[in-house]
Amino acid sequence: MKRVTIAVFLLFLALMCSTASTNAQPTQPRKYIAFRDDDVAPFTSLEPLEAVNQVHIDEGVPVTLGIIPHPPREGQEGNELLQDGPFHTYMGSIASNPLFEFAQHGYTHQDIAPSPEGPSEFYGRPYAAQYNAIKQGQADIKEAFGVTPTTFIPPWDNSDHTTMRAAAALGFTDYNTDFSLQDIQYGYLGGMRIEGGFTIGALNDTAFTKTILEAQNVTEQFLVDPHADTLTFAYHYWAFTDSMGAVDSHKIQQLMNFIDFLKTKGVLFTRLDRSTVTGGSEAASPSSSVGLTVATVGKCIPTPLLLVGSVSAVLFGIYGSAQRQSAPRNKPKHK
């Protein structure tokens, strides 16, 4: 009977748990795609912007809009975002749509501080000058649309560490540039996430198509990179026009096809501020998913070997018990 009890206990143990594994089992990290539309500004044509935004609405894919608060216009003062009626009305109509993030794309977007990498609005300027320009642009966006931007995009993707420090001090949580930023591709500064991206689109039809094909290759590389969790594709809505400035339906279709290609890869789509994620069942923070492992120490995991061994022990115990019960008992001898 004692053997049977022990065997049953072993079977129960096998069904419930096994010796804890001390090896951490890596999980597949989530992969996020973000779209970024630069140069959204007043006193420009609305049709291409509306057409590209409609693609994101139809596809259910979020996009971060890089707004230029104060594009240079002769004699223009005050908050320009309030002075272009149709632009202000349209932007106001999508401000509450969770698919659209309103980000800040510089302040004037003027090339007043060229960098070694090319044109720049901020490179090399004193901290106070950069801080005040970014602060004013942030305030203008909030006044115009009731939204405080938390993503900063330097014009032409060119800036310096002073720009990043100023943006972080103003409460921006994401700083999105491109891979040419000298010594930072992914990282954090003062709680602000810094990350790069890849630009798609062009006015020339051939060049436009080429960037889409390159973006597909970049995507394939991104998917197998264990250190990257988010890839940003940046474009300019005005690049989706033809030689006459009208919306180019072929380019619009290429964007739709590219998004459909990304959907086949099982990626999640996110705004750069991470407040909206589509394409998956969970809207987890990308910053917490890289290199995620699940440790099995202390967990109960049934193993086939222990199950077979325990079942054998039970059968052996039952068989042995039955044999003892059926064997003839010797009567005690009386002296």
Mean pLDDT for back-to-back runs of 10 residues, the chain (335 residues): 50 45 56 97 97 98 98 88 97 98 97 91 97 98 98 94 96 84 63 91 96 96 91 96 96 98 97 92 40 30 45 48 48 42
Rounded to an integer, what distance in angstroms lies between the CA atom of residue 38 and that of residue 234? 7
> Looking at residue 28, what is its pLDDT?
62
> Looking at residue 197, what is its pLDDT?
85
> Looking at residue 186, what is its pLDDT?
67
> Looking at residue 179, what is its pLDDT?
54
Q: E strands within 163-257?
A: 174-176, 186-189, 192-195, 197-199, 230-236
> Looking at residue 193, what is its pLDDT?
93
> Looking at residue 1, what is its pLDDT?
54
> Looking at residue 288, what is its pLDDT?
37
Specify the pairing of strand 32-40 against strand 268-270: parallel
For tokens 């032409």, the residue is 156
3-class secondary-structure state, position 16: helix
Rounded to an integer, what distance in angstroms lies between the CA atom of residue 275 and that of residue 54? 20
> Looking at residue 123, what is its pLDDT?
96
> Looking at residue 280, what is its pLDDT?
60
Q: CATH 3.20.20.370 spans which residues of the chain?
A: 30-293
Token code pair at residue 314: 């039970």
Task: Read off φ and ψ for residue 327, nearest 5 degrees.
Answer: -70, 140
Q: Any idea which architecture 30-293 has in CATH?
A: Alpha-Beta Barrel (3.20)
Token code pair at residue 67: 């707004």
Rounded to an integer, what distance in angstroms lies between the CA atom of residue 51 and that of residue 55? 7
> Looking at residue 188, what is its pLDDT?
87
Instruction: Report the phi/psi class of residue 303: left, alpha or beta, with left for phi > 0 and alpha for psi in -120 to 50.
Output: beta
For tokens 């001390």, the residue is 22
> Looking at residue 189, what is its pLDDT?
87
